[in-house]
Structure formats: C-alpha cells, structure tokens
Amino acid sequence: MKNHKEQIFKIIFAITACISIVSVILICVFLFVNGVPAIGKIGIFKFLLGTEWRPANDIYGILPMILGSIYVTAGALVIGVPIGILTAVYLAKFCPNWLYGFIKPAIDLLAGIPSVVYGFFGLVVLVPFVRDNFGGNGPSMLTASILLGIMILPTIISVSEASIRAVPDHYYEGGLALGASHERSVFFTVLPAAKSGVFAAVILGVGRAIGETMAVMMVAGNQARMPDGILKGVRTMTTNIVLEMGYSADLHREALIATAVVLFVFILIINLSFSLLKRRIN
C-alpha cells in the first residue's frame, strides 16, 4: 500500500513538473512565432538600434526602451543590493530576538504589497521628494530606481538571510578562534561562505526589477526617447508594452510582441551571465 502511494505521488509530481515546463515552452513559442516575423519586417538593426519609436509613422526603434530598462534596473541594484545584504547580515548575526520579531514580519509584509500600491507611494511621496530635493519634474529615472530599489529589498533580504543562516557554525567559531572579532568573523568568514546564496538573491532581485511594470509606469515619466540624465523621464520595455498594447494593431502589435521577445532574451542573458560568474567565483 505504501509503495502504491509513493508511485501515485511520484506521478503527480512528474505531471506538475511537466505542466510547468510545457507552460514555459508555450510562452516561448507564442513570443517567438508572433514577434520574430515583426523583427524581420522592421529590420533587426533598425528595431534594436533605432532611437525613435513612432508607431503612427511605422518607425519602431526600441533602443531608448532597452537603455531605459538597463539604467533603471542598474539604479535599483545600486540602491537595493547593499541595503538588502547588510540588512540580511544584521538580521542573521546582529539583531536581538525581540527586535527581530518586529523587523522580519515588516520585511515579509513588504513582499506582499501590490505593485500598484508601490506605484501610488512613489507617485505621492517619491516624485515630490525628488522634484523638491534634486530638481527636474519628479517622474524620472532616479525616482523609478529608488522605487524599484525598495521593491527588491524583501527578495534580497530573505534569500540572503537564509543563505547566511545556512553557513555552518564552525566557520564563525573558527574565525573567533583565530582572534577575529565578531564583526570580522561575520563579514570575512560567514558572508563569503554564503556568497552563492547572495548571488541567487541578486539574480532574483534583477528579475523582479527588470520585469516590474505598473510601479515603474507610474513614476518613470514614460517618455519614449533616449535617456538624457537621471532626472529625465524614461520608458522601459515593459511599460512600453503595457501602455500601447491596448490600442495596437497589425505591425504595431507585432512590434510590441517583438519587444517582449527582446525582454525575454535580455533576462535570459542576465541569468546566464550571473550563473557563469557564480560558477567562476565558486
């Protein structure tokens, strides 16, 4: 009877795994079948390196959106990664238990806040803050980077903390035995030992940042032009798709799907690059 149950559960798990794989394959097929022909019609160099996006004139250049996505994501990482990793180190090795009971639920709550709420917060709080303290109109690359930096914090903190706690205690104890202080043992022994998990946290943060749409759309300015400074408005690939898909048709619609293909390949390249870097470091 026990063997039969095990076989049944193995079959169930195999089916669910196959469903996940098939779903990914179907999404890839849909994107490439509908998007690649548009790239061929427009011209791959005109599409990827074109600096103007004017669907009314059949001009589809997505370089401004590609650069906008890169700059906003990079800014979010500059803000979110140091704060996230240091917070994870504090929670794992420095935070007293009574305070941990308040901070950890608050971080988990951040992960459950909808994107549109983050966007509303950015629109009401961050946009006036950036406008009053840094200049510009408010909706800008800097505003979007700050907001995305906040949004990726729960992912980076949770994964990094779990990785740090997974490091065996004898690493830390060995550092103390060699005369290192508590801080040096944590930062020069425990944290390097957890670098694999920390890299995984950064990869997940990049995926969250580059794929975010609603919050960025509300604070980035959404101007389909070449980025011209951190206080100027930008448009990312995801927001470009969302803003225009509702009324697009024919080649315009195909060009938006082709933009999704570029975004898909872009994320794939980033993940592969991080994986290779992680393997080389290990």
| Number of domains composing the chain | 2
Clarify whether residues 113 and 33 are in a common domain: no
- Same domain (yes/no): 107, 205: yes
Residues 196 and 109 in one domain: yes
Residues 148 and 23 in one domain: no
In this predicted structure, what is the pLDDT of residue 2? Answer: 60
The reply to whether 58 falls in a domain is no
Residue 250, domain CATH: 1.10.3720.10
The confidence score (pLDDT) of residue 187 equals: 87
Q: Identify the pLDDT of residue 157.
A: 93
Residues 247 and 198 in one domain: yes
For residues 72 and 158, membership in a common domain is answered with: yes
User: Residues 8, 141: one domain?
Assistant: no
Assess whether 10 and 122 both reside in one domain.
no
> Hey, what amino acid is at 172?
Y
Compute CA distances 277 → 142, 272, 281, whole Å: 28, 9, 6
* Domain membership of residue 81 as a residue range: 63-281
The Cα–Cα gap between 221 and 127 comes to 10
Helix (H) / strand (E) element for 53: namely strand 53-54
* pLDDT, position 278: 67
Matching residue, tokens 């983050």: 118
- pTM comes to 0.85
Residues 37 and 157 in one domain: no
Measured CA to CA in angstroms, residue 231 lies from 143, 145, 147, 224 at distances of 8, 11, 14, 15
**67 and 43 part of one domain:** no
Residue 134 within a domain: yes
pLDDT at 156: 92
Residues 232 and 134 sit within 8 Å (Cβ to Cβ):
no
Do 195 and 107 lie in a common domain? yes
| pLDDT value of position 236 | 86
Nearest Cα neighbor of 209 from 100, 71, 23 is 71
Domain for residue 253, yes or no?
Answer: yes
- The answer to the question of residue 13 being in a domain is yes
Do 143 and 276 fall into the same domain? yes
What is the full per-residue pLDDT of the chain (282 aa) written as tens digits? 566 777 888 888 889 889 988 988 898 888 888 888 888 888 888 888 888 888 888 888 888 888 888 899 999 999 999 999 999 999 988 888 888 888 889 888 888 888 889 989 988 999 899 888 887 787 888 999 999 999 999 999 999 999 999 888 888 888 888 787 888 888 888 888 888 888 888 888 888 888 877 888 888 888 778 888 888 888 888 888 888 887 877 888 888 888 888 888 888 887 787 777 767 665
CA atoms of 251 and 138, how far apart (whole Å): 33
Residue 56: inside a domain, yes or no?
no
Q: How far apart are CA 186 and CA 167, in angstroms?
A: 11
- Domain-located, residue 57: no
